[in-house]
Structure 1
Amino acid sequence: MSSLYYRQKQAWASLRKKPGFVGTVITTMGITLGALLCILTLAYVLIAKPLPYPEQEHLYRVDSEFVDANNEGVGKAFTYPSLMHLYQKQTIFDESALIYFDENVLTSSPTQPTMNTAFVTPQWFNLLGVEMAIGRIFEATEALNTNNPVAILSYRTWQDEFAGTADILSQKVSFSGTSFNIVGVLSEDFIEPQIYSTGRNSQVFMPWDFNEVGEDLRKSWININDTQLFIGKLNDKISLSQAKQILTPLMNDTWQENVVGFDFFKGWSLSSDITPLQSVILGDNQDTVYMLLAGVIGLVLIACANIANLFMSRTAEQQRQLAIHAAIGASKKQLFKTLFAESGLLMAMAIIIALVIALGGFEIMQYFLAQRLPRVDELNLNGFTLLCALAITFVLAFFFAKLSANMINYRALNATLQSSGKGSGIQVSHKVRQLLIISQVAIVTALVFVNISLLKDAVNTIENPIGFETNNITTLVLAGASTTPPSREERKVIMQELKTKLSQLPQVEAISQSASPLSGFGIWAQVVVSTNERLVVKTKPVDENYFNLINQPLLEGRTFTDTEISDEVDLLLVNDVYARHLAGDKSPLGMQITFGGPEDPAAVIVGVVKGMTIPGRSETPMRAYPAAHRGGTRLMLKLKPGQAISRQQAAEIIAGVTSQYSLFELSSLDNRRDQLLFTQYTTAITSAILALLTFFLAAIGLYGILSYGTQMRRFEIGTRLAIGAKRRTLITMIIKDNSLSLITGIITGMILLVILYLGFPKELEAYLQVQLVPVFALTLGLIATISWFACYWPLRQFINRPAIYSLRGSD
């Protein structure tokens, strides 16, 4: 122990004399290792860490998948009675629960915030092993068909909305006119499984009976809803294949019996899909994590190459000190221990910085990526992170010490001492320098190309026209505030008065009684009357002002009139994608479409609009726009430039019109568009930073390696200058001598890209296009630029001075 302490003390004394070297090493390695620990921990949490629920390996989500007559999957969702049939009749799950996700206005609060709500059966809490901060979970008295109005709050809701008051169990919350007694508060440590959408955390839990599904839809076998889910703990004696064989006929046979009168569903069927809860939560993010990990490992490798160069230079500087150690009897093994003490101390300091940076990375990801990556709330400095930190510290310390030790010619150290440190007792071999150049260029070629490609794709998606305007448009959505909703005719009166009040505001330019173009589309079953073709099309009712307000171009025909909307005439507009499907190159105007059953009236197509895309997506799906009625509770407000409407102002206007509705949502289309493009913005910023950081690290590394090589040829350069060699000739000589290594590095980088593509063909297929040729040319240009700079800049100090300076090695 004393010898170890002595070596560390000596190492620290030696390093204190080289603050620049120490600062560069611990800063470079600290930043890159911090990023590595952050992504390694993310990978562990998402892919390897068990879910924090008892018997999590037996927890599954069951989905109902609709298959059409052509045996093509239409989508995964339940009809309400089909879900209830599954819940009540299944026998293969030891315990199961229903969950319905929704958003509701907390009308009992003065601020009336919109909250994430979940309607569940009591087994939900048992399956997840929920612990309570206060109170209890739901009991048998809150089970199916008991209609007992109670509620459980999340810990955050208790703190934010009720200030953590101790008498919370004596209070109530009100939603849609129903008052719920608060019976419990979830533990602060409870982590809700994000099985519906990433980043969604329920704020209030209520019994299943009070979900927002209307009585007519509770009996409908043809209306599907993807917000209602089923999870259960599968009996450990039943395999997944057996479970699917049991559940599919249980669900399909009953559904078939109840849709037999609907021609639209002729030939359709249901199949069950049983997915482990871990896979449901992870989703398709596994490849994203692997790509992040590959990028960060590439940066770490570049950083290691740079630091290796510094260590080799440091070892060359220490040759006299090492010679003294050898002269007094130090063995090669003891010299290695001396070098290991220094590298270990440096890596220990770097890993401390790395852990601090990793903590900051966790905070950043939890703040910005909670809506994009699952389980980020679980990121912290856990045992896995610390174990990785220790392993990385030891491996890198050993690597740098071994690299330095291999440079030592033990027999030449005495000669070095006798010559007062002059000569070449310790040098970096030409092969090692070539290997460093090749590795640096190969990694930077691959990383810069990938990052520029990702940046280009993200920017193209952000700038891609979406087919309508979002500027100065605000959406306003109402929520029911009473147990008995107003009739359709009453809603028409209420909405007409509300539109009149809103239109009188000086900041409002126009109003449309329609949902936002970024939402509100439902999947409607449609039949083409002339061909009897059955389709499932994204559809949204709109009024006469919708297309003009968002400036979505009309390509053919006309839009609706005020009279047609008021009289509820059965008319329809379609986008150009749907029009081409219906009529090819001909006009679809005058064609008739029916919705639902054969008794429904046919809607006549009167116009065709240009297709729109949802921001962040590339496809333009078929869309239909039937004429809306005046009872819709969704509005779009076109505001004058620079104007805004506050939530309080909107809520006061609504309250002045009716007490049967409250303000559910008030948001601008620009904000919603930015939210949908968040992934692209994040990708663009991240890839740009990584490309610049990679470029910067590579430039430093190549400069260091080539500078060292140039220093070794100082005498040769001085001799050539003395006999009349021109500056251009010397520059060409240095570039030519290093060109083979540079070209080999580029080819190796291309091989790495091919291997990357072979590993992720589906994920990268969209990026491999002809348009990437300029990107690859740009990458080669950047690599050539930093390589030329790294060759030329170290040479300047010799070719810009008289030859005597190089020959005598003096300044």
Structure 2
Amino acid sequence: MSLLYYRQKQAWASLRKKPGFVGTVITTMGITLGALLCILTLAYVLIAKPLPYPDQERLYRVDSEFVDANKEGVGKAFTYPSLMHLYQKQTIFDESALLYFGEDVLTSSPAQPTMKTAFITPEWFNLLGVEMALGRTFEDSEALNTNNPVAILSYRTWQEEFSGDADILSQKVSFSGTSFSIIGVLSEDFIEPQIFTTGLNSQVFMPWDFNEAPENLRKSWSNINDTQLFIGKLNDKHSLSQAKQILTPLMNDVWQENVAGMDFFKGWSLTSEITSLQSVILGDNRDTVYMLLAGVIGLVLIACANIANLFMSRTAEQQRQLAIHAAIGASKKQLFKGLFAESGLLMALSIIIALVIALGGFEIMQHFLAQRLPRVDELSLNGFTLLCALAITLVLALFFAKLSANMINYRALNSTLQSSGKGSGIQVSHKVRQLLIISQVAIVTALVFVNISLFKDAVDTIDKPIGFETNNITSLVLAGATSTPPSREERKVIMQELKTKLAQLPQVEAISQSASPLSGFGIWAQVVVSTNERLVVETKPVDNNYFDLINQPLVEGRIFTDTEISNEVDVMLVNDVYARHLAGDESPLGMQITFGSPDDPASVIIGVVKGMTIPGRSERPMRAYPAAHLRGTRLMLKLKPGQSISRQQAAEIIAGVTSQYSLFELSSLDDRRDNLLFTQYTTAITSAILALLTFFLAAIGLYGILSYGTQMRRFEIGTRLAIGAKRKALIFMIIKDNSLALVTGIITGMILLLALYLGFPEELETYLQVQLIPVFALTLSLIAIISWFACYWPLRQLINRPAIHSLRGSE
């Protein structure tokens, strides 16, 4: 132990004399290893770490998939009666639970915040092993059809909305006119499974009976809803394939019986999909994690190549010291231990910085990526992170020590001492230098091309026209505040008065009684009267001000009139994508569409608008816009430039008009658009930073390698200068001598890109297109620039001075 301590003490004494070397190593390795530990921990949590629930390997979500007459999947969602039938009749799950996710206004609070709600059956708590901070979970008294109005709060809701009130179990919360007694608070450590959407954390849990499904949908076998889910614990008697074979007929047969009289569903069927909770939560993020890992590993490899060059240069500088150790009897093994003590100390310091950076990375991901990546709340310095840190420290310390030791010509050390340190007892071989150049250029070629491609794709998506305006537009949505909603006629009166009040505000320029173009589209069954073609189309009722307010261009025909809206005339507009499907190159004007039931009146197409895309997506789906009724509770406000409306102001206006509604949502379309483009913004920023960091590390590494090679040829360069060689000729000579390694590195990088594409063709097909030829040309140009700089700059100090300076000290 005393010998180990002595070696560490000697290593620290030696390193203190080289603060520049120490600072470069621990900074470079600390930053890159910090990023590596952060992404490795993310990969472990998402892909390998078990879910924090008992028997998590037996937990599954069941989905109902509709298949049309052409045997094509239409979508996954339950009808309310189908879901209830499954819950009450299934026998393959030991326990099962229903979930219904929604949002509602907490009317019992003076601030009336909008809360994320979950309506569940009592089994949900048992399936997830929920522990309570206060009170109890739901019991048989809150089971299906008991209608017992109780509620459970999340720990965060208890702290933020109720200030951690110790008397919380004696209080109530009110939603939509119903008062719920608070019976419990979930444990602070509870992690809600994000099986509906990533980043969703329910704030209030209520019994299933009080879910937001309207009464007509609870009896409808033809209307689907994707906010209602089924999870269960599969029993040991059935495999997944057996479970699917049992559930599909259980769901399909009863559904077929209840839609037998509906022509629209002729030839359709239901099939069950059973997916583990682990897979549901992970979603399609596996490839994202792998790409992040590939990028950060590439950075670490570049950093390691650079640091390897520094270690080799330092070993060359230490040749006299090493010669003295050899002269007094130190063996190769003892010399290696001394080098390992230095590299181990440096890597230990680096990994401490890396752990701090990883902690910062966890905080950043939890703050910015909670809505994009699942389970980020579970990121922490866990045992896996520390084990990786220890392994990385040991492996890198051994690698750098071994690399330095392999440079030592043990027999030449004595001659080095006898020549007073002159000569070249320790040198980096030409082969090693060429290999380092090739590896640096190969990695930087692949990484920079990928990052520039990702950056270009993200920027193109951000800048892509979406087909409508979002500037100065605010969406306002109402929520019911009473248990008994107003009648249709009462809603018309309320909404008309509310629009009048809002229009009187000085900051409001125009109003549309329609949902935001960024939401509000439903999947409606439609039948083309002339051909009897059955379709499922994204549909949203809008009023006559909608298209002008968002500036969505009219391609053909006309928009609605005030009379058509007020008299509820059955007319509609379609987008150009739907129009081409209906009529090809002809006009669809005058065609009639019914919405599912043959008894429904047909709507006549009176206009065609240009198709729009949702920000962040590339497709333009078919869309239909029937004339809206005047009882809709969603509004859009076009505000004057530089103006805004506060939530408090809007809430006061609503309260002055009616007590039957409260303010559910008030949001800017610009903010909503930016949220939808969050992934693209993040990709653009991250890829730009990675590209710059890659170039920076590559430039340092190539400069170090080529500078060392130039210094090794100092005498040759001085001699050539002495006999009259031109500066340009010497520059060309150095570039020519290194060009083979540079070109080989570029080709190797292209091979790496090809291998990446062959390994992930579907994921990368979007990015690797003909349009990326300029990107590849830019990548090669940038690599050529840093390579030329790395060749020229070390040579500059030799060729810009008299030859005698190069010949001196080159013995």
Aligned to 2:586: 586
The separation in 1 between residues aligned to 2:782 and 2:487, in whole angstroms, is 67
Q: Which residue of structure 1 aligns with residue 763 of structure 2?
A: 763
Which string of whole-angstrom CA distances, capped at 9 and with x for unpartnered residues, describes residues 584-616 of structure 1? 000000000000210000000000000000000
The alignment partner of 2:198 has SS state of coil
Q: What's 2:200 paired with?
A: 200
Contact 2:714–2:810 under 8 Å retained in 1: no
Q: Which residue of 2 aligns with 1:264?
A: 264
Kindly provide the amino acid, as one letter, of the partner of residue 71 in structure 2: N
The answer to whether structure 1 residue 379 and structure 2 residue 409 are counterparts is no
The Cα offsets for residues 774-807 of structure 1, whole Å up to 9 and x where unpaired, read as 0000000011000000000000010000000000
Alignment match, 1:788: 788
Q: 1:515 deviation in Å?
A: 0.1
Residue number in structure 1 paired with 2:393 = 393
Give the aligned residue type for 1:399: F
The equivalent residue for 2:628 is: 628
Following the alignment from structure 1 to structure 2, what is the Cα–Cα distance between the partners of residues 236 and 780? 58
Structure 2: which amino acid aligns with 1:634? R
Query: How big is each residue's C-alpha offset from its partner over 1:341-394, in whole Å with a ceiling of 9 and x where there is no partner?
Result: 000000000000000000000000000100000000000000000000000000
8 Å CA contact 1:476–1:637 kept in 2: the answer is yes
- Residue type of the alignment partner of 1:401: A
Give the drift of 1:506: 0.1
Residue 500 of structure 2 corresponds to 500
Q: Distance in 1 between matches of 2:357 and 2:741?
A: 35
Consecutive aligned runs of 4 or more in structure 1 exceeding 4 Å deviation = none
Equivalents in 2 of 1:552, 1:597: separation in Å?
Answer: 30
Q: Are 2:477 and 2:634, in contact at CA under 8 Å, matched by a contact in 1?
A: yes
User: Which amino acid counterpart does residue 450 of structure 1 have in structure 2?
Assistant: V
CA distance in 2, matches of 1:604, 1:290: 50
Deviations 1:216-236 (A, max 9, x none): 110000000000000000002
Aligned partners of 2:202, 2:76: CA distance in 1, in Å? 22
Write out aligned runs for 1:679-698 (5 A): 679-698=679-698
Distance 1:809 1:721 in 2: 16
Distance 2:760 2:636 in 1: 43
Instruction: Give the counterpart letter for 1:661 in structure 2.
Output: Y
SS in 2 for 1:270: strand
CA distance, structure 2, for counterparts of residue 596 and residue 138 of structure 1:
39
Structure 2: how far apart are the matches of 1:136 and 1:695? 57
Cα deviation, 1:105-126, whole Å, max 9, x if unaligned, reads: 0001110000100000000010
Pairs within 5 Å for 1:148-159: 148-159=148-159
Tell me the residue number matched to 1:300.
300
Deviations 1:413-435 (A, max 9, x none): 01111111111000000000000
AA matched with 1:415? S
CA–CA separation in structure 1 for the residues paired with 2:684 and 2:527 = 43
Residue identity (%)? 90
Q: Partner of 2:240 in structure 1? A: 240
Structure 1, residues 452-488: CA drift from partner, whole Å, max 9, x if none? 0000000000000000000000000000000000011
Find the counterpart in structure 2 of residue 177 from structure 1. 177
Whole-angstrom distance in 1 between the partners of 2:758 and 2:182: 55
1:334 aligns with 2:334: yes
Tell me the amino acid that sits aligned with residue 652 of structure 2. Answer: E
1:101 maps to what in 2?
101
Offset of 1:265 from its aligned partner? 0.3
1:222 aligns with 2:254: no
SS in structure 2 of the partner of residue 517 of structure 1: coil
Do 1:714 and 1:809's aligned partners in 2 also have CA atoms closer than 8 Å?
A: no
How far apart, in 2, do the equivalents of 1:380 and 1:762 lie? 33
What is the CA–CA distance in structure 1 between the aligned matches of 2:453 and 2:801, rounded to whole Å?
Answer: 43
1:57 Cα shift?
0.2
- CA distance in 2: counterparts of 1:328 and 1:227, whole angstroms: 78
For 1:70 and 1:129, locate their aligned partners in 2 and report how far apart those are by CA, in whole Å.
43
CA contact (8 A) 2:320 2:421 kept: yes
Match of 2:84 in 1: 84
- The equivalent of 1:710 in structure 2 is 710
Whole-angstrom CA distance in 2 between matches of 1:243 and 1:660 = 46
1: CA distance between counterparts of 2:401 and 2:318?
13
User: 5 Å matches for 1:481-630?
Assistant: 481-630=481-630
Q: Aligned partners of 2:713 and 2:780: how far apart in 1?
A: 28
Residue 767 of structure 1, CA deviation: 1.0
Classify the secondary structure of the residue corresponding to 1:107.
coil
Paired with 1:421 and 1:646, the residues of 2 have a C-alpha distance of 77
Output the TM-score relative to the length of structure 1: 1.00
| Aligned equivalents of 2:380, 2:189: Cα separation in 1 | 13
Secondary structure (helix, strand or coil) at the match of 1:771 reads helix
Letter in 1 for 2:584: G
Quick one: which amino acid aligns to residue 283 of structure 2? G
CA distance in 2, matches of 1:503, 1:532: 43
Provide the C-alpha distance between the structure 1 equivalents of 2:320 and 2:365, rounded to a whole number of angstroms: 48
> Which residues of structure 2 form unaligned runs of 5+?
none
- Mapped to 2, the partners of 1:634 and 1:572 lie a distance apart of 19
The letter of the residue matching 1:626 is P
- The equivalent residue for 1:349 is 349
3-state SS of paired residue (2:770)? coil
Output the CA distance in 2 between the equivalents of 1:637 and 1:579.
29
Alpha-carbon distance between aligned partners in 1 of 2:583 and 2:447, rounded to the nearest angstrom: 47
In structure 2, distance between residues paired with 1:119 and 1:596: 30
Distance in 2, matches of 1:374 and 1:215, equals: 34
CA distance in 1, matches of 2:237, 2:385: 36
Q: Which amino acid aligns with 2:562?
A: D
List runs of 5+ in structure 1 lacking aligned partners: none
Letter of the structure 2 residue corresponding to residue 189 of structure 1:
D
Q: How big is the shift at 1:768?
A: 1.4
Structure 1 counterpart of 2:637: 637
Alignment of 1:45 onto 2:45:
yes
1:627-683 residue CA offsets vs partner (Å, 9 max, x unmatched): 000000000000000000000000000000000000000000000000000000000
| Counterpart contact for 2:715–2:810, Cα < 8 Å | no
- Distance in 2, matches of 1:172 and 1:717, equals 87
Taking the aligned partners of 1:768 and 1:116, their CA distance within structure 2 comes to 40
C-alpha distance in 2 between matches for 1:688 and 1:192: 34
Cα distance between partner residues in 2 of 1:797 and 1:122 = 78
State how far apart, in whole Å, the 1-side matches of 2:337 and 2:679 are. Answer: 48
Check whether the contact 1:130–1:186 (CA below 8 A) recurs between aligned residues: yes
Tell me how far 1:328 sits from its aligned partner: 0.5
Query: Residues of 1 paired with 2:378 and 2:73: CA distance?
Result: 35
Q: Give me the whole-angstrom Cα distance separating, in 2, the residues matched to 1:128 and 1:304.
A: 44
Write the deviation string for residues 245-303 of structure 1: whole angstroms up to 9, x where unpaired. 00000000000000011100000000000000000000000000000000000000000
Within 5 Å, give how 1:715-730 maps onto structure 2. 715-730=715-730
Q: Distance in 2 between matches of 1:266 and 1:489?
A: 36
Look up the match of 1:72: 72
| Counterpart position of 1:191 | 191
Please tell me the residue identity of whatever aligns with 2:310.
Answer: L
Report the residue type matching 2:268 in the other structure: W
Report the equivalent of 1:145: 145
d(CA) in 2 for partners of 1:214, 1:786: 65
Q: Could you say which residue in structure 1 is the equivalent of 2:282?
A: 282
Q: TM-score, normalised by structure 2?
A: 1.00
- Equivalents in 2 of 1:759, 1:371: separation in Å? 29
The Cα of 1:809 is off from its aligned counterpart by 3.0
Preserved CA contact (<8 Å) 1:67 1:74: yes
For the residues of structure 2 that align with 1:192 and 1:15, how far apart are their CA atoms? 50
Distance 1:458 1:467 in 2: 18
Pairwise CA distance, 1:810: 8.4
Instruction: Tell me, in whole angstroms, the C-alpha distance in 1 between the residues paired with 2:455 and 2:521.
Output: 31
Number of matched residues? Answer: 811
Residue type of the partner of 2:12? W
